Amino acid sequence: METEFDYLIVGAGSAGATLAARLSEDKTVSVCLIEAGPSHKHFSVSTPGLLLLNMVSKKRNWAFETVPQKGLNGRRGYQPRGKMLGGSSGSNAMIYIRGNKADYDHWASLGNKGWSYEEILPFFKKSEHYEGGESEYHGIGGPLNVTYKKEASPLNQRFIEAAQSLQIPHREDFNSEHQEGVGLFDITQKRGKRWSAANAYLDPAIDRENLTIITECIAERIIFKKKQATGVQIRTKSNQTILLARREVIVSAGAFGSPHLLLLSGIGAPEKLLPHGIKIQHTLPGVGENLHDHVDWIANYRGKRSLHKETVGFSLSGAANMIGETLKYRKDGTGMFSSNIAESGAFLYLDREEPSPDIQLHFIISIVDDHGRKLHWGHGFSVHVCLLRPKSRGSVNLASSKPSDAPLIDPAFLADDRDMEKLYQGARLTQRLLQTPAFDSIRGKPFYGTAEQDEARLKQDIRNRADTIYHPVGTCKMGSDKMAVVDERLRVHGLKGLRVIDASIMPQVISGNTNAPTIMIGEKGAQMIKEDWSGAE
Ligand SMILES: Cc1cc2nc3c(=O)[nH]c(=O)nc-3n(C[C@H](O)[C@H](O)[C@H](O)COP(=O)(O)OP(=O)(O)OC[C@H]3O[C@@H](n4cnc5c(N)ncnc54)[C@H](O)[C@@H]3O)c2cc1C
């Protein structure tokens, strides 16, 4: 196998897959994409309704645990992350959300030139093929298929009505001018199948002669010549070797994987490296800091009557129903197996002084308990509520100098009392919404408490059960302050030939789900790399 390439990309996730495809459009350069996991070609990945399988199994999932969280009564959180071509876009819930205009204008106001909403919107549109058609806010002809409406469970209508009865406006499109409101989510699917970054970007590029994709291969360390990144040490099942980069090494290993690799390579704060015997390559105190995530709490209810046709659950009637659903899905990709389970949601203000909605709800046509790891017999529904701009900040650290050891992940959930207070207010609002008449005929027993629950008990329940809604970011943040890891062109400060391009560069998490924004970061990153090397031999 060739061992020298122009670009080495570590991680084939939402950002890495995008970069590999865009950079290899130029036939004069060679690109190598290194991915720890296997291919995405598996029915458990492509079938939307089976998304739970890759949340709990470890074959295509890093299945990280956090360090014990003081804010969660000492519990360890669970952090599933995709480990396959497509990364977490291969195991996520397929919701297509961009966040709020104010998020990107905030990034730009921090000094990150080129990242205002107006400047990043073209990259969202470039990536997109919107089945709803082209408009000021949507693109067509791009690789990422976004379906704008599909048959959803009738339960979603109840959720929408319930929210409207609380004066929450109906929203047709969360990704256009206004975000506040309730409605069905757009999703990254095509003809009833998941459309991950691997489907969108890698499948069409896979036969290019200038693109090499290595799966089941771990990047262990970045190699340097003084301050210039020159290669990556990799380990496959059979051997360890070094790949060389003529131009750049690009780290796209995700919000946990990217800081982990930088720390293993001696880039970080000396106090993080020296205890593990790692030689300091470059002092950069922000590596692994600023970890934050959308902390989330779930209300779940059993159905008052059997909901086996409208929800996903475990029952004899549900199993019988699934036979018909399987045939339907096989025939034309419709029915329950095409459902992303989280079909509708809402963006709401708890505080009108905020620049944009500060909580998000996800309505789930299933009983979701402990990330689906705790299964319950029967049918029901759940509502997630998460904080869109949490104040708590945590970190990613090394457990050891061994690349095979998972990093120490500390999201510091609810460490800041303001987060606890806001999540409590959000949980109250969620309970109110679930008590509205729209749910009266189907609302059975709650699993963990009721709307009448007093403040102390509800707060205790939040600490007992809150966890991630899977949007960790910020651990290699973009900026120019002393804790920034990359500059506005995503180059690692103080080093040459090294960029980080993925969700870890977000200085502050966007107000929504993070897949589309990470693909946008990949698109913009690819363009900046092309610009920076234009005219090179
Ligand atoms: C369960 C779940 C549900 C979600 N639901 C949604 C949703 O509905 N909508 C939405 O917008 N967002 C959702 N997200 C979030 C979204 O998918 C992620 O934010 C996004 O995919 C992150 O992209 P990334 O490129 O930063 O990282 P990833 O996509 O995670 O990619 C990182 C890649 O790097 C690889 N890697 C890591 N370390 C190494 C190494 N040392 N060597 C080689 N390879 C390595 C990994 O295996 C992985 O493939 C969800 C995430 C999860 C986990």
Q: What is the mean pLDDT of each run of 10 residues along the chain (537 residues)?
A: 94 98 98 98 97 93 98 98 98 98 98 98 98 97 89 95 98 96 98 97 98 98 98 96 98 99 98 98 98 97 92 92 93 94 97 97 96 94 98 98 98 98 97 96 89 87 97 98 98 98 98 98 98 88
Name the one residue in this structure whose structure tokens are 């051997």. Answer: 239
Contact 11, 19 (CB under 8 A): no
Q: Which of 263, 341, 470 has the most ligand 1 atoms within 8 A of CB, as the residue to mutate?
A: 470
Atom 31 of ligand 1, nearest CA residue? 13
Q: Which CATH architecture has domain 148-187+295-387+415-465?
A: 2-Layer Sandwich (3.30)
Is-same-fold flag (1-66+80-147+194-293+394-407+472-537; 148-187+295-387+415-465)? no
Atom 23 of ligand 1, nearest CA residue? 14
> Cα separations (Å) of 499 from 24, 244, 279, 348, 437?
17, 15, 20, 35, 53
Q: For domain 1-66+80-147+194-293+394-407+472-537, give the CATH superfamily.
A: FAD/NAD(P)-binding domain (3.50.50.60)
- Of 471, 463, 511, nearest to 360 (Cα)? 511
The full DSSP string for 29-82 is S-EEEE-SS--S-SHHHH-GGGHHHHHH-STTB--EEPPPBGGGTTBPPEE--B
- Of 527, 501, 498, nearest to 221 (Cα)? 498
Beta-bridge partners for 299: 383
pLDDT of residue 305: 87
Distance in angstroms (rounded) separating the CA atoms of residues 20 and 337: 30
CA of 376 to the centre of ligand 1 (A): 28
**C-beta 513 within 6 A of ligand 1:** yes
pLDDT of residue 1: 75
- Of 414, 412, 468, nearest to 80 (Cα)? 468
Q: Which of 263, 515, 519 has the most ligand 1 atoms within 8 A of CB, as the residue to mutate?
A: 515
pLDDT of residue 149: 64
| Domain layout of the chain by residue ranges | 1-66+80-147+194-293+394-407+472-537, 148-187+295-387+415-465
Distance in angstroms (rounded) separating the CA atoms of residues 87 and 36: 9
**C-beta 145 within 6 A of ligand 1:** no
CA of 506 to the centre of ligand 1 (A): 14
- Of 217, 292, 227, 219, nearest to 260 (Cα)? 219
Neighbours of 88 (CB within 10 A): 28
DSSP 8-state assignment for residue 287 = T
pLDDT of residue 81: 98
Q: Which of 64, 92, 103, 294 has the most ligand 1 atoms within 8 A of CB, as the residue to mutate?
A: 92
Q: Which element (helix H / strand E) includes 267?
A: strand 267-268
**What predicted TM-score, i.e. pTM, was given to this entire model?**
0.98
Active site residues: 471
**C-beta 30 within 6 A of ligand 1:** no
CA of 6 to the centre of ligand 1 (A): 25
**C-beta 87 within 6 A of ligand 1:** yes
Per-residue exposure over 352-391, b if at least 16 CB sit within 10 Å of its own CB, e if not: eebebbbbbbbbbbbbbbebbeeeeebbbbbbbbbbbbbe
**C-beta 497 within 6 A of ligand 1:** no
**C-beta 296 within 6 A of ligand 1:** no
Measured CA angle at 218 (ends 214, 219), to 5 deg? 100
**C-beta 198 within 6 A of ligand 1:** no
Measured CA angle at 373 (ends 465, 448), to 5 deg? 35
- Of 204, 227, 219, nearest to 252 (Cα)? 219
